[in-house]
Amino acid sequence: MRPPDQIALPLDWPQGSDDSRFIVADANRDAFEHLRRWSSWPVKATILTGPRRSGRSLLARGFVARVGGRLFDDAHRHDEEVLFHAWNHAQESGRPLVLVADDVPPAWSPALPDLRTRLAVTPVTRILPPDDALFGALIQRLFADRGLHLPDDALRYVVMRVMRDYWTAERVVEAIDRFAIAERARLTIPTVRRALISAGLIDGASE
């Protein structure tokens, strides 16, 4: 399995606005490439969706900053008239509009008919759940943001045992760091194991 490209990260300890923190991997490569090819979109707008904490907003912010576009994060929560006019303005100006949303049509079905019509022809791109390589890279980057390094054997232990999603990556790092500080322990497999059991992230009985 080829490792993720280390060009960024979506998580926040501390949070930077620089899109160079986004890690391009198989789970998000299609979305990343879709934004790079924005000049070929059928309309100058797109809907970006994916799990929360997956870096979707970070990716979108970096994109619109580079090309002079406009972003609506949590677009499904915005005023529909505002979105309608923003969509039209994107077509007139040639500057792209990115709508980041939890749901996409037909699950996201605005009450405003004109907006519904426009969303129906708007391309959708998705960020998927992380694979092992991306999940491990996220955990290592989160530790690095805290000035720490998780040894490779301990990282493999984590990746093989915890649920693999973006929220869990954050919980894992927080749990291990807090436990290691409290116990004044090094980041070894035994420390990691006890930390994950204590946080309820793995079942101690199966270990």
pLDDT in tens, 68-119: 999 999 999 999 999 999 999 999 999 999 999 999 988 999 999 999 999 9
The verdict on residue 50 lying in a domain is yes
- The CA distance from 118 to 113, in Å, is 9
Q: Are residues 122 and 34 located together in one domain of the fold?
A: yes
* Cα–Cα–Cα angle for 115, 55, 51, rounded to 5 degrees: 65
> How sure is the predictor about 22, in pLDDT bands with cuts at 50, 70 and 90?
confident
Residue 130 reports pLDDT greater than 90: yes
Tens of pLDDT, residue by residue over 35-57, are 999 999 999 999 999 999 999 99
Q: Are residues 199 and 173 located together in one domain of the fold?
A: yes
Question: Which residue range is the domain that position 92 belongs to?
Answer: 28-126
Domain boundary among 73, 107, 126: 126
What is the rounded average pLDDT for all residues in the chain?
Answer: 89
The residues, any chain, with a CB within 8 Å of residue 48's CB and separated by 6 or more, are 31, 35, 56, 59, 60, 98, 99, 100, 101, 124, 125, 126, 127
- The CA distance from 179 to 59, in Å, is 32
**Average pLDDT over every residue of 176-203:** 95
Q: Are residues 140 and 201 located together in one domain of the fold?
A: yes
Q: Are residues 120 and 186 located together in one domain of the fold?
A: no
Residue 6 reports pLDDT greater than 60: no
Q: Are residues 57 and 114 located together in one domain of the fold?
A: yes
